[in-house]
Structure 1
Amino acid sequence: MPVRVVESSSSSAPSQVSGSSPGHALPPACTLLSVGQAFAGTQNVSSSQKDEAWRVNVRIQGCDLDHGYLCGTMEALNVPLADTPVVTFWEGEVVDTKNYTFFTGKWEATSEDDIRHWSKFPSFVPFLSQVEVDGGKSLDLSNCPYIFMRWKEQYFVNVGPDCGLTIAGFYYVCFSCIDGTINGFYYDPNSSPFQKLELKSTNEGRSGFSFSSYELQ
């Protein structure tokens, strides 16, 4: 949910897979990617004018890996233009080659944008050549210890759209099933490029503490 800054782009073929082979296996099950799990960390929103990072909390609110879907809330705590922490609701697409591929096909992201962002994750590099061919449709990710996703913020939960921030873009996300860490890069052709999201799983909510509650509609 960064501040708007620059340029524009175009879309490419959609990432949702239709008619995929029934032999495609789902990503590995992971107890750290489940409803109620919380994550905390930072999002680097630095620009050419200044260095800046926001503290960020994320909580998983829904998870349906069979359909490549998950959703949650994201809370940015020290946003300069906001008087209160800014909370957004996001929905995610899991790259499982059954429901979604590595190609986004919307939100102004071209296949070149996809390759450029996914390639920033070292865990993606072994898949690069096949993704360049068909978005990774023929890949088997069932034994991969990482889960690749896209997170798209849908609306502001506790502030209005005039809060000075934008949710026009989306996040390329890599989740580690090994230690529960999340790395991501925000993409919006009108915002500073490659804003990095770094989160670690926490016990919040599972040990009696939780974020403020919000009514999601």
Structure 2
Amino acid sequence: MPVRVTESSMPSQVFGENPGNTTLPPCTLLSVGQAFSGTQNVSSLQKDEAWRVNVRILGCDLDHGYLCGTMEALNVPMADTPVVTFWEGEIVDTKNYTFFTNKWGATSDDDIKHWTKFPSFSRLRSQVEIDGGKSLDLSNYPYIFMRWKEQYFVNVGTDCGLTIAGFYYVCFSCSDGSISGFYYDPNSSPFQKLELKSINEGRSGFSFSSYELQ
């Protein structure tokens, strides 16, 4: 939710026909209730700025390539309160979703530019450029690629000074639960980086505020 300013091993590859029945392995760090905390860099040419960000997963359906959750930005300069949004995500599993977005104003060139920001994508790039990755088997790949699209503001109005017109390209590490992402919106600062780490709430004492989703 940026201000509007007007990371490996090679997966087994199936070249040719996609078997269609590959599913991503279960990952305990990508599950309902899991929390993440970190920052989003929203720097522009005028100033350097980063917000503290918390994310919680509220729903996850690997079979259908779907997940959803909330994102909370804590130190937004123009807001009197933390800004919370509800987002829905697409998991790139080559069955339900490929690396090509095909919506939200993103072209295949935009997709490649953003996915290549993740080091873990480098060995996938050549096949993705051909067919969006339809012929890739990602079932044993140690990273999960996703897109997160914020749907609405939970606790503030649309006049809060932020935009949710764009979406995030996201890379999740199955080994440690870390998340990196880049925000895409032609009308916002490019390549705003999201960096999150998995939180063990019981040990850290970290907790989310409670919000009712409408």
**TM-score > 0.5 by shorter chain:** yes
Question: Which residues in structure 2 correspond to 1:66-105 (within 5 Å)?
Answer: 66-105=63-102
> Residues 141 and 206 from structure 1, CA distance in 2 versus in 1: closer, same or farther, beyond 3 angstroms?
farther
Q: Is the 8 A contact 1:45 1:192 kept in 2?
A: yes
**After superposition, where does 1:87-166 map in structure 2 within 5 Å?**
87-166=84-163
Taking the aligned partners of 1:33 and 1:82, their CA distance within structure 2 comes to 30
Unaligned runs of 5+ in 1: 7-19
Query: Hey, what's the Cα distance between the residues in 2 that align with 1:191 and 1:136?
Result: 28
Q: Which amino acid aligns with 2:194?
A: L
Q: Which residue of 1 is the match for residue 4 of structure 2?
A: 4
1:113 aligned counterpart, secondary structure? helix
Question: Which secondary structure does the structure 2 equivalent of 1:115 belong to?
Answer: helix
1:194-213 superposed matches below 5 A: 194-204=191-201, 210-213=207-210
Q: Are the structure 2 counterparts of residues 44 and 208 from structure 1 closer, same or farther at C-alpha, using a change threshold of 3 Å? A: closer
The C-alpha deviation readout for 1:140-190, integer Å capped at 9, x for no partner, is: 000100000000000000000000000000000000001110000000000
TM-score normalised by length of structure 2: 0.92
Q: Secondary structure at the match of 1:131?
A: helix
In the alignment, the residues of structure 2 paired with residue 205 and residue 133 of structure 1 have an alpha-carbon distance, to the nearest angstrom, of 45
Is the 1:73–1:90 Cα contact (8 Å) retained in structure 2? yes
Of 36, 42, 46, the residue aligned with 1:39 is 36
Residue 61 (structure 1) aligned to one of 54, 58, 74: 58
Q: CA deviation at 1:207?
A: 7.7
- SS of residue in 2 equivalent to 1:42: strand
Give me the identity figure in percent: 86
User: Are the aligned partners of 2:18 and 2:136 in contact in 1 as well (CA < 8 Å)?
Assistant: no
CA RMSD of aligned residues (A): 1.5
Cα deviation 1:114-154 (Å, max 9, x = unaligned): 00000000000000000000100010000100000000000
Please name the residue that 2:185 is paired with.
188
Partner SS state of residue 126, structure 1: coil
TM-score (norm: length of structure 1): 0.91
How far 1:22 moved relative to its partner?
4.8
- Partner residue of 2:10? none
> Which consecutive unaligned segments of at least 5 residues does structure 2 have?
7-16
Task: Tell whether the 8 Å contact from 2:20 to 2:95 is kept in structure 1 after alignment.
Answer: no
Q: How many residues align?
A: 204
**Does the 8 Å CA contact 2:18/2:134 hold for their aligned counterparts?**
no
